[in-house]
Structure 1
Amino acid sequence: MLLAVDVGNTDTVFGLYQTGTWNHIWRMRSLVHENVSHYESKLRLHFLEAGLSFGDVKTVVLCSVVPDMTPIIQKMLRSLFGDEIIMVGPDIYPELDIAIDHPHEIGADLIANAVAVMSRYKQNCVVVDFGTALTFTTVSKDGKILGVAILPGLVTAVKALFANTAQLPEVPLKLPASAIGKNTTEAIQAGILLGYEGLVKSLILRIRTELGGDCIAVATGGLSSIIETLKDEFVEIDRKLTLDGLRIIGERVKSF
């Protein structure tokens, strides 16, 4: 059994993989002020409720984009599963060439996404990850991360608007029927969701143009299905893409 752990800015995701499938996926809020025992008790409860034993886990793979949480989660995992925790970084998967100026600056989750699509597809691909940040990671058909575009995610954009404007409320992420909002909620939904629809299409088109038109797009992340009108832009929408990349990395490391 393999345990993949993805520490993100909003949530930390734990995925248990066995016999070709993700049997369990659990989410916890990423709270930097909490200690090791907080996360350990929650994970113990998940294992208990699922009737699982920590001893059944043979491989643990961790990626984190929250530096303050990384040592906390590392310590928790080592106390439960031993010291052989695979930590994802730019050198973890030799088959992936990170062809950017400063490879150590790239998020570990983006590395996992790139590994997943380069293993699944053998062609140029842009991975659009709808998370706390909205990221576009371009991977070439020969296994190179060519570069990344980053901007605030959907929830981040809504929260920023709510926090910095006195009269605008926080609204649900629901695609409006019209770009012409008839009330404040619809106005914000039109601006954010329809605005992001155009933004995503525009960036994918520009990336494809720069690659001579030869590039597929794959979506992932917790909000990847929110903007339904974007689904035809992608050959696949897979919320487990990052976990799959972590699994592939774990299996690769264990085989050597």
Structure 2
Amino acid sequence: MILAIDVGNTNIVLGCFDDKQILFRERISTNQLATDLEYMTLFSTALKLHSLSEENISGAIISSVVPSVTNTLKQAITKLAGVTAMVVGPGVKTGLSIMIDNPATLGADLAVDAAAAISEYKAPMIIIDMGTATTMSVVDKNKNYIGGVIMTGMAVSSDALTSRTSQLPRIAFETPKKIIGTNTVDCMKSGIMFSTASALDGMIERMEEELGEKCTVIATGGLAPLIIPLCKRDITLDEDLLLKGLMVIYNKNKKD
């Protein structure tokens, strides 16, 4: 059983896979002040919740965009299961042909998403990951990673709106009954939810125009299930994409 962990700026996604089967997926908050013991306790709790034991963990893999947390997690995993975690980064085989200006600058999360997507979906493709930032990665018909865009995440936009206005309240991410709101809260919900969906639809259209062909579109990330149903484009929601990518990369790099 392999422990897979993806560290984002807001949340950490963790899960375990056995061969090609994902056994569970959970999210915890990213806390840069937490100790290895605190993270170990959270991982142990997640395993117990799914009737799994750390004694069955034979390996681990981490992708992280928060360097200050990465080493803490490695220590937590060693305490938990007595294994040294593989970390996605330079020297780790991903199976990607990365065609951007400086391949070393590609975020680990984007590499992991793309590694999973090319193993499971038809290229060319656009991969959307909705977390603290919303990213859109493009893989061409030859399965080359050619670039993408980074957009302000939905939660960041909402926080900026409420923090810079004196009378606008914080809102839940819920779809209003109508696009044209008749009260402040519904106006804000419509503005956040439908504008995000429209931005994705519009960016997909522009990317396809630039490529000159239609793309398979896949979406993942904590906020994706809220927004993808509102999009007009046909987008496949794959909440396990990151874990699948970690599984692909682990298997490419494991020592027999």
| Shorter-chain TM-score tier | over 0.9
Corresponding residue for residue 68 of structure 2: 68
Once residues 25 and 11 of structure 1 are traced to their aligned partners in structure 2, the CA distance between those partners, rounded to angstroms, is 12
Shift of 1:90: 5.1
Corresponding residue for residue 101 of structure 2: 101
Contact 1:113 1:242 in 2 (8 A): yes
Corresponding residue for residue 252 of structure 2: 252
Task: Give the structure-1-normalised TM-score.
Answer: 0.92
For 2:162, give the aligned amino acid: F
Corresponding residue for residue 129 of structure 2: 129
Shift of 1:41: 1.4
Describe the SS at the equivalent of 1:167: coil
Once residues 30 and 185 of structure 1 are traced to their aligned partners in structure 2, the CA distance between those partners, rounded to angstroms, is 29
Matched ranges for 1:112-191 at <5 A: 112-191=112-191
Matched ranges for 1:11-26 at <5 A: 11-26=11-26
Contact 1:124 1:216 in 2 (8 A): yes
Once residues 231 and 112 of structure 1 are traced to their aligned partners in structure 2, the CA distance between those partners, rounded to angstroms, is 26
Once residues 4 and 17 of structure 2 are traced to their aligned partners in structure 1, the CA distance between those partners, rounded to angstroms, is 8
Once residues 252 and 163 of structure 1 are traced to their aligned partners in structure 2, the CA distance between those partners, rounded to angstroms, is 45
Corresponding residue for residue 234 of structure 2: 233
Once residues 166 and 122 of structure 1 are traced to their aligned partners in structure 2, the CA distance between those partners, rounded to angstroms, is 47
Once residues 131 and 249 of structure 2 are traced to their aligned partners in structure 1, the CA distance between those partners, rounded to angstroms, is 21
Change (3 A) 1:95 1:47: closer
Q: Deviations over 1:100-122 (max 9, x none)?
A: 11222221111010001111124
Contact 1:225 1:231 in 2 (8 A): no
Shift of 1:49: 4.2
Equivalent residues, number: 255
Once residues 150 and 21 of structure 2 are traced to their aligned partners in structure 1, the CA distance between those partners, rounded to angstroms, is 30
For 1:98, give the aligned amino acid: I
Corresponding residue for residue 199 of structure 2: 199
Shift of 1:56: 1.4
Runs of 5+ consecutive residues of structure 2 not aligned to the other structure:
none
For 1:254, give the aligned amino acid: K
Once residues 43 and 2 of structure 1 are traced to their aligned partners in structure 2, the CA distance between those partners, rounded to angstroms, is 13
Once residues 160 and 172 of structure 1 are traced to their aligned partners in structure 2, the CA distance between those partners, rounded to angstroms, is 15
Once residues 183 and 22 of structure 1 are traced to their aligned partners in structure 2, the CA distance between those partners, rounded to angstroms, is 43
Contact 1:3 1:57 in 2 (8 A): yes
Shift of 1:191: 1.4
Change (3 A) 1:94 1:167: closer
Once residues 43 and 215 of structure 1 are traced to their aligned partners in structure 2, the CA distance between those partners, rounded to angstroms, is 37
For 2:40, give the aligned amino acid: E
Runs of 5+ consecutive residues of structure 1 not aligned to the other structure:
none
Describe the SS at the equivalent of 1:233: coil
Greater mean alpha carbon deviation, residues 150-159 or residues 20-29: 20-29
Change (3 A) 1:141 1:121: farther
Shift of 1:6: 0.6
Once residues 90 and 191 of structure 1 are traced to their aligned partners in structure 2, the CA distance between those partners, rounded to angstroms, is 40
